[in-house]
Amino acid sequence: MTDQIDFKSKRALVIDDFPGMRTAFKAALASFGMSRVDLAASGDEALMRVKNTKYDIIISDYNLGDAKDGQQVLEEMRYRKLITLGTVYLMVTAESVYERVVAAAELAPDDYLIKPFNGEILRNRLEAILVKKQAFREVHKSFANGDLERALSECNVVIKTNPKCLVDAMRLKGEILIAMGDLQAAGELYSEISAMRAVPWSRLGLAKTLHLQRKEEEAEEVLSVVLENHPGLVAAYDLLADVQLAQNRSMDAQATLTRATQVSAKSARRQRRLGEVAYQNKDLKTAESAFKGAIEKGRYSVFANPNDVGSLARVYLEQDQPRAAGEVLIANAKQLAENDEGKLVNLVVKSALSSKNGNQREAQALVQEALRLRKAAGGRCSPDLAMDMVQVCVGLGMEQEAGQLLEEVASNAHDSTDLLNRAKDIYRDAGKESVAQTILQKATGKVAQLSKQGALLMQAGDLVQGADLLKKASEAAPRNPRVLMNAVWATLRLIAQHGNSGGRLGNAKRMLGDAAELAPDHPRLAELRSAMREVEKRLKAPELNVACVE
């Protein structure tokens, strides 16, 4: 179709667990001039290679034996930023699993090639992808640099000038608009595409936009139609669970995630979410098997999380199975030794076990060490794990340590009912319910009050006082992303009205950065980023600069 692609200059990586296929790919690629071809027999080998070498083209079989499949390899490469949007990723599958593989993909490869195929078709497909990458080069570059405005305008150029790339460009534009927080425009775009044809990804984009706009009922309606027609579409279940959780329907969310794991059990993140929701629903049996799944599927991948071990051990302990909890630690000892997070999990579970076995002195020493390690790591640890530590301390009569930690955790979680309820349960079981009341009141009262008053003042139009109170709330709860985001929102409104003085913009940026680090997937982030850009743009405009000087 084109002769502008210079294959000789390209470097390729072929991933296939079967030596015969690797050789065949190498021969096929050589037949059209590609001599710089590396081979990998497994996903892990491929990841090692990609870390050290920049490839233009990656061709992977979907099925790589028992280990990671080609889709997981793609997702891990993207997640770890080992490859860019400019890297070609071609997935090879058998026709019998093709439709299922497509439906389970959270991140689409550039194309799917069905086995058997011949060298000429391989060349044709690679050429088509490379031509397309060329057309989107500026869009990808700007997107990767975080220059979303530019990415959007470049995308519009493709839409206007390149009819063959129209739908791809619209798809990318939807992602850019969502990243920019322009949900209105994203929604209109997805509706437009869906009117052309209700392809699964356009309906999914529409549902996501609706969810981000908090139009949960409409989002659910779209998703139920999608799932009726494409029951294998895993991303639709994930999104539906988000929608249900946003409506506090955690039982429905659990059912949805259970169905999703039945369709595709491979994702550690999905299993973890199911575990979390089931734990919240006090369905310990389901939580147990889901956390087990999360540990197993995450092993040796970037999606491994030592907190899964902590969660599973917690579930065992709550079911009065200390032996099983101990075994989980042993089975995952290597992973837990790798970083502070893991070491902390190990110490906390061990201390809980010692305490349960009546070995008070050992439990005390272990939990003391855990408290020290947590402090040394800057107070970073999952709230549930911190609550485990509170539980051990309360059980051992270490009231002061328990109280301090609970206060710290609770002040950052005044709006997390589940967590606060667990604290109350812990103290009630120890016959000290009133102690918990006092601590929680002290820890959450201030933040809750500042937040409420600040919001009321903002509503009444007193932006100066309102933003000030919400900022104070964020200082009292520096690790609560929701409180931080409220403060950002208020500060941005304040700047828009009264200009940027006293380092307001800098403050807002820092708080938004903190919130994004704490809750990178929070739906509100995009909206705030968009508002931030808007404010910055207005500050830069010369006529407004004059008006903004206070």
DSSP bridge partners of 93:
114
The residue among 48 and 196 lying less far from another protein, judged by its C-beta, is 196
Residue 29 to residue 15: CA distance in whole angstroms: 13
Task: Please tell me what DSSP assigns to residue 53.
Answer: S
Q: Is 128 in the site for another protein (CB under 8 A)?
A: yes
Least separation in angstroms between CB 74 and another protein: 16
Least separation in angstroms between CB 83 and another protein: 22
Q: Is 119 in the site for another protein (CB under 8 A)?
A: yes
Distance, CA of 127 to chain centre: 33
- Buried (b) or exposed (e) across 168-199, using 16+ Cβ within 10 A? bbbbbbbebbbbbbbbebbbebbeebbeeeee
The residue among 227 and 487 lying less far from another protein, judged by its C-beta, is 227
Say which residues have a Cβ less than 8 Å from residue 117's Cβ, sequence separation at least 6. 92
The residue among 16 and 283 lying less far from another protein, judged by its C-beta, is 16
| Percent helix, strand and coil across the chain, each to the nearest 5 | 70, 5, 25
- Give the interface segment with another protein, choosing from 4-12, 216-224, 225-233, 357-365 (CB under 8 A): 225-233
Interacting residue with another protein among 30, 107, 196, 456 (CB under 8 A): 196
Q: Is 229 in the site for another protein (CB under 8 A)?
A: yes
Identify which of 184, 132, 119 has the alpha carbon closest to the alpha carbon of residue 163. 132
Interacting residue with another protein among 26, 112, 516, 518 (CB under 8 A): 112
Residue type at position 499? G
Q: Is 20 in the site for another protein (CB under 8 A)?
A: yes
Identify which of 43, 77, 78, 76 has the alpha carbon closest to the alpha carbon of residue 60. 43
Residue 43 to residue 32: CA distance in whole angstroms: 26
Two tokens, residue 323: 């032996």
The residue among 124 and 453 lying less far from another protein, judged by its C-beta, is 124
Q: How many residues does the chain have?
A: 550
Interacting residue with another protein among 11, 36, 115, 472 (CB under 8 A): 115
Interacting residue with another protein among 30, 48, 94, 333 (CB under 8 A): 94
Least separation in angstroms between CB 498 and another protein: 48
Is residue 263 within 8 Å of 104, Cβ to Cβ? yes
Residue 57 to residue 12: CA distance in whole angstroms: 5
Interacting residue with another protein among 3, 95, 217, 320 (CB under 8 A): 95
Is residue 491 within 8 Å of 511, Cβ to Cβ? yes
Q: Is 383 in the site for another protein (CB under 8 A)?
A: no
Least separation in angstroms between CB 175 and another protein: 15
Least separation in angstroms between CB 8 and another protein: 21
The residue among 124 and 359 lying less far from another protein, judged by its C-beta, is 124
Interacting residue with another protein among 18, 146, 357, 380 (CB under 8 A): 18
Residue type at position 41? A
The residue among 169 and 212 lying less far from another protein, judged by its C-beta, is 169
Least separation in angstroms between CB 16 and another protein: 9
Strands 88-94 and 57-61: parallel
Q: Is 65 in the site for another protein (CB under 8 A)?
A: yes
- Supply φ then ψ for residue 16, to 5 degrees: -155, 135
Q: Is 106 in the site for another protein (CB under 8 A)?
A: no
Interacting residue with another protein among 166, 246, 251, 284 (CB under 8 A): 166
State whether residue 479 is helix, strand or coil: coil
- Give the interface segment with another protein, choosing from 20-28, 142-150, 206-214, 401-409 (CB under 8 A): 20-28
Identify which of 100, 103, 143, 125 has the alpha carbon closest to the alpha carbon of residue 7. 125
Interacting residue with another protein among 38, 138, 168, 362 (CB under 8 A): 168
Q: Is 160 in the site for another protein (CB under 8 A)?
A: no
Q: Is 194 in the site for another protein (CB under 8 A)?
A: no
Residue with tokens 């075994």: 327
Interacting residue with another protein among 8, 9, 35, 97 (CB under 8 A): 97
Residue 205 to residue 173: CA distance in whole angstroms: 11
Q: Is 118 in the site for another protein (CB under 8 A)?
A: yes
Q: Is 300 in the site for another protein (CB under 8 A)?
A: no
Is residue 154 within 8 Å of 144, Cβ to Cβ? no
Least separation in angstroms between CB 58 and another protein: 19
Burial status of residue 263 (CB atoms within 10 A of its CB: 0-12, 13-18, 19 or more): middle
- Give the interface segment with another protein, choosing from 117-125, 144-152, 306-314, 420-428 (CB under 8 A): 117-125
- Give the interface segment with another protein, choosing from 224-232, 346-354, 415-423, 438-446 (CB under 8 A): 224-232
Interacting residue with another protein among 33, 146, 163, 445 (CB under 8 A): 163
Task: Please tell me what DSSP assigns to residue 112.
Answer: E
Two tokens, residue 348: 């906390």
Identify which of 127, 100, 132 has the alpha carbon closest to the alpha carbon of residue 114. 100
Is residue 384 within 8 Å of 291, Cβ to Cβ? no
Q: Is 449 in the site for another protein (CB under 8 A)?
A: no
Interacting residue with another protein among 114, 159, 225, 377 (CB under 8 A): 114
Is residue 351 within 8 Å of 395, Cβ to Cβ? no
- Give the interface segment with another protein, choosing from 82-90, 120-128, 308-316, 507-515 (CB under 8 A): 120-128
Number of chain residues interacting with another protein (CB under 8 A):
45
Report the interface residues with another protein, using CB under 8 A: 1, 17-21, 24, 27, 63, 65-66, 94-100, 102-103, 112, 114-116, 118-121, 124, 128, 163-164, 166-168, 196-197, 199-201, 229-233
